[in-house]
Structure 1
Amino acid sequence: MSQAAITSQLYKKEMEKTNYKILIIMGICHLLNDSIQAVVPAMFPILEKSMGLTFTQLGIIAFALNMVASIMQPVVGIMTDKKPMPFALPVGLTSTLIGVFGLAFAPSFASIVLSVLLIGIGSAVFHPEGSRVAYMAAGQRRGLAQSIYQVGGNSGQALAPLITALILVPLGQRGAVWFTFVAAIAVLLLVYIANWYTKKLRFDLEILKRKGKEATAISSPYSNKIGLYLTLLLFLIFARSWYVSGMTNYYAFFAIENYQFSIQKAQVYLFAFLVAGAIGTFFGGPLADRFGKRNIILLSLIGTLPLSILLPFASPAFAFILLALTGFVLMSSFSVTVVYAQELVPGKIGLMSGLTVGLAFGMGAIGSVVLGYLADQIGITLTIILTGFLPILGVLTLFLPQDKK
């Protein structure tokens, strides 16, 4: 066998290998990063009482956090598609560390907004590059790899109710300072990831040079049809993100008003929704590898609709079950939409990750403001009822092409 053939087989074997160690570390880092982000909405009931903030002001805080991440993620993705930046990962988390420290000691509404902007910048840098690392370590199991990575983030978000009940309620705003240690751990882990990332890039470049090819990404023309499909996919993310935003930011207020729950008990219900969502995120990827990404996206949104419509009218015990089922079904498409977009536009891994995950943050940000304003105008109960109809937009999935196409 010739040297070129041996080299080609070596490269193929390496590319098809799934690096679970790297994926697990990235999942842990994603958990740490998103648990820090979860501190912000988790503090809403605390800030509403201690600083007298309105629902609209709380929505603006969520907007500041999520919109910065949304706007910057595609920009970071475009930059890193052209020139990968492994050490952007620990640098981004350092920004988050500074932001969470500022949040713990912020004396005013304006300083809170400034602090969450720094957290948003860290998130904007972390997510596209983190998704790229997951893609690089995936081998042939892209759905599973993205699920391992994304389930870490959703698990971190699921910690928000526990953060509120166990840390922020007894310690108040100052309790957020403990998350500077969480950020520091994430920075150290990401330094390790950045070193692996750098070596992987060098290895890929060397192998491609030996094969006599340039180390460039595979490109795909942006036809009008591809643009239409991508727009539809982003609109589906819009529907999912608005619903999740309504639940994470305002369902606790709904439970307190309608069920006479304490803050702690309301957070337990929200915890069920988020934990089930994290589990759904994990199972969605492998299911998509087997049954098709478009099919899982469709079933995720349409399957959520009857649950979300029924939820506001359920008894407290039944509502707990419905919340868990809704979280599981809805979030099963979270990682799947990322991989679907990456395969829809090959060679633009960072940009597609930035659009799909970043758009989720951005749409959640807009949803936070709109739903917060709506809650101030028509009441929290009617707002949650109307939010339950958002998954009906999932019928648009039928216009997306099957995976093989």
Structure 2
Amino acid sequence: MSTKAESYSSSPAAAAAKATVFPILFAISIVHMLNDTMQSTVSALFPILKSELSLTYTQVGIIALAMNLTASVLQPLIGRYADIRPLPVLLPVGVCFTLAGIIALALAPYYGVILLAVISMGIGSAIFHPESSRVAYLAAGSRRGLAQSIFQVGGNFGSSLGPIMTAVLFVHTGQIGVIWFAFAALAAIAIQIYVARWYSAQQLLPRRAVKPRAADKPAGAKGLTRKQVMWAVVILVFLVVSKNVYMASITSYYTFYLIGDYGVSVSSAQWFLFAFLAAAAAGTFFGGPMADRYGRRNIIWFSILGTAPFSILLPFANLFWTGVLAVLAGFILSSAFSIIVVYAQELMPGKVGLVSGLFFGLAFGIGGLGSALLGWIADETSISFIMKVCAFLPLLGILAVLLPKDDQVQGFE
């Protein structure tokens, strides 16, 4: 005798809900690449701005803080609102803020105007990430780890282009060279209009799909209590903190470390940073499929804690091995974030926007706070000291062993 759930699962709506919509995933991944390429122009300009405007490390950190803290505060709010009332129109609107920030950054004559420009870019990211992550969730079907990795790898690849822009473009053109990235913003707006149309057409499908699936299981079967969910989220937050403060130490200060301690040129240091960020992009892509196969919890645990041997050795190695260790650390560490987002989404079903906004917001906020704090410490001590202290942060990955097993997470597939 067939049940309601069985008849639902064989329906065209259920089949559509389980299908992975790759054109949409690739579209938002491309926009993520363009968005984060534009965001990376800020950190790529750090050596240029520090020299031209005679900035301290603290002021450099405050630039990152202004952009990232704006995104951090707004993202959970936008994500929660989108859970209640999805707004596909926000997808292209968010990139418009980034476009305004890019133009202002290219033309800014003073430090204060630079801060306003990066705040506008932070607003753009605050709108882009939670809503686009919702799109990735809707387009994922049954392959959520892979879908989130496709979405994330675009952003990581875009971030990795920052050092190349410094080495190839900004060293020669200076600050005004940023103006060329307005074309990237226009392309992203066009793609987001396409994605927004698909998003509008799909808004009702997930609601139809979720309700019968929730009825498939008795209430609480293999589920978690509210307290267990809360503690799991707290652990995930600590893991995001450890990952993003370490990432901030590399993205903001690794080039200064190479220039000061190894005597390399600005351009050469940027290629080392590119290698780290490119490895991070590759790690992001492989992390999702590995988690789909071997389990979310296992990959989260391996990703953060497994970085520690390489990060700890990095500040004590010669120039060649410093580069090799940075690549290994970037690859392993970055395989975790997309999985943390998916794991948290499944811990809190029905709150995809809130979870995405919270964790992307944390990533931005902690990265910004980390950059500012590390800049202040570097002014008081040295860049070398920063690299040695931050090297131990991945040891916090041991906390992942306290996370619930995959089959305990409600809604896990």
Aligned position for 2:411 = none
Aligned position for 2:159 = 157
CA spacing shift, 1:265–1:345, aligned 2, 3 Å: same
1:245-324 superposed matches below 5 A: 245-324=248-327
Aligned position for 1:23 = 25
Quick one: which of 191, 194, 201 aligns to 1:192? 194
Letter aligned with residue 322 of structure 2: A
Letter aligned with residue 277 of structure 2: L
SS in 2 for 1:53: coil
Deviations, residues 212-246 of structure 1 (Å, cap 9, x unaligned): x9xxxx99998122111101101110000000000
Cα distance in 1, alignment partners of residues 230 and 205 from structure 2: 33
1:6-405 superposed matches below 5 A: 9-202=11-204, 223-405=226-408
Structure 2: 5+ residue runs without aligned partners?
409-413
Deviations, residues 120-139 of structure 1 (Å, cap 9, x unaligned): 00000000001000000000
Letter aligned with residue 268 of structure 1: W
CA spacing shift, 1:204–1:238, aligned 2, 3 Å: closer
Q: How many residue pairs end up in the alignment?
A: 398
Cα distance in 2, alignment partners of residues 200 and 182 from structure 1: 27
Cα distance in 2, alignment partners of residues 204 and 149 from structure 1: 19
Deviation at 1:7, TM superposition (A): 9.0
Moved over 4 A (4+): 4-8, 202-205, 218-222
Deviations, residues 82-120 of structure 1 (Å, cap 9, x unaligned): 000011010010010001100001111110000000000
Q: More deviation in 390-399 or 145-154?
A: 390-399
Identity %: 48
SS in 2 for 1:264: helix
RMSD over aligned Cα atoms: 2.2
Cα distance in 2, alignment partners of residues 58 and 111 from structure 1: 14
CA spacing shift, 1:296–1:203, aligned 2, 3 Å: closer
Cα distance in 2, alignment partners of residues 105 and 236 from structure 1: 38
SS in 1 for 2:131: helix
CA contact (8 A) 2:255 2:273 kept: yes
Cα distance in 2, alignment partners of residues 150 and 377 from structure 1: 35
Deviations, residues 122-162 of structure 1 (Å, cap 9, x unaligned): 00000000100000000000000000000000001011101
Letter aligned with residue 385 of structure 2: L
CA spacing shift, 1:53–1:71, aligned 2, 3 Å: same
Q: More deviation in 223-232 or 325-334?
A: 223-232
CA contact (8 A) 2:138 2:206 kept: no
Deviations, residues 244-268 of structure 1 (Å, cap 9, x unaligned): 0000000000000111010000000
Structure 1: 5+ residue runs without aligned partners?
none
Per the normalisation by structure 2, the TM-score is: 0.93
Letter aligned with residue 312 of structure 2: I
